[in-house]
Structure 1
Amino acid sequence: MISPNILYSCYVTRNLSNEQFIPEHIFLYQFSGSLIINDAEKEYSVQTGEFCLARRNRLAKYIKIPPKNGEYKTISVRLDQNFLKDFSREYEFTADIPATKDAVIKIQSQPLLLNYIQSLSPYFNLTTDSKNEQMLLIKTKEAVLLLLKTNPELKNVLFDFSEPGKIDLEAFMNRNFQFNIPMERFGYMSGRSLSTFKRDFKKIFKMAPGGSVASIKIKYKNLGDLKVSQPIYRMI
């Protein structure tokens, strides 16, 4: 770790992450190995030497795969909403059109971005104190400025501060049932309060979503002679 917002990761074995909700944008560089990300709609692959931006408010499972006889290494920069709102006010950047819906955006490797990643190495062993935190805040700002310089369209992703709107709950749950996240998070992702989520869930699936650590089978209706399997929803 360099700081809470700039993280250096290293693994020697294949790692399946338990993190299934991406709360903030993450700018990532793949030093070595590969990263496989699946958001239930699409699978993304990030290979050695590639950059990407993982978007906030997304559900995803990911696998970290080290190279043969090598180590899996990444640098990731977390871009949280408070930081980006302050940045937006300071530099007067705003979103003006809807952005792509992809959970992961590939970013073309460019000298400016590679030089930035290399510039982080002196910070790897810094102790945590207020002066160092200020320097790392400057490095986080630098990351955003470089992203906007090389990929101006990313302003429509980074500075979109809107919250999830109310969506079709049945389609949402059918698509995302495999993610093991708290019930409150399912509600938030579908644009509902917890109470509204429970009410709508019961109305659609004819049963309550359950309490803590409850497994619930969702009843499907057969479509003609087609039998649909019954996924299990695990609510925490």
Structure 2
Amino acid sequence: MTSLKLQFIGGGKMAEALLGGMIATGWAAADEIHVVEPSAERRAILSDAQPSLSIGDAPVAGVDAVLAVKPQIAPEVFSGLAAASVPRLLSIAAGITTAAMEAALPEGTVVVRSMPNTPALVGQGMAAIAPGVHAGDDDLVWATSILSAVGRVVTVAESDLDAVTGVSGSGPAYVFHLAEALTAAGIAQGLSPEVADTLTRQTLLGAATLLSDSGEDPAQLRINVTSPNGTTQAGLEVMYERGFAEVIDAVVAAASARSAELGG
């Protein structure tokens, strides 16, 4: 068997997306990745997707790891990670501080904390990483190489991760809710549900692609599509009058505050 390069503690959908991206981009072969996953159903799904993947019940000693479990389960797995003396740990478990992880692991263990988001499932994720006290530049490069297999990565101070959660971690849900509302509004104007749904999906995809690819400021893109006294201006004026920007500010603040609460 090829020597292992990485192990995932937890084999849920985010772990599946990450390891799939890493294999597809050549970061590792399937038989160089080990997954610790107790669920028989998830094991079967992972094995079907990657037949040569190593799957087991316990961490492998001396192999770098990605912590990809629900935050409430994480404390239960730290004893196994400590016994395995994993050299480096990249955590994508929400709300667990690097200090808490370092306290549960052997002295000197490198810890990098991350906040990814669900578009990683389609290779369009946005993740932020923050180093623990023992993590150096090489460790951040290592963490970035893993997460960049499914999207973009930025490095921030750990104190910024609550704000990151409010913007990009929870952000996809805000966009999905906007899609719900835009579709419902189209139906209210007489469109069929199917047409309203198609218009909404493609409009959001097209706008996001234009925002990403054009390099222009969002405000300029808004100005570009807003003719004086035209239809877009009429719609935007309602957004201004109803305080859309203030609502978004409050939404991000609430999500960020909740992230801080969960992190203790």
| TM-score category (smaller protein) | under 0.3
Q: TM-score, normalised by structure 2?
A: 0.25
Q: Greater Rg, structure 1 or structure 2?
A: 2
Q: Which structure dedicates a bigger proportion of its chain to helix?
A: 2
Between 1 and 2, higher relative CO (CA 8 Å, sep ≥ 6) is seen in 1
Q: TM-score, normalised by structure 1?
A: 0.27
Q: Which structure dedicates a bigger proportion of its chain to strand?
A: 1
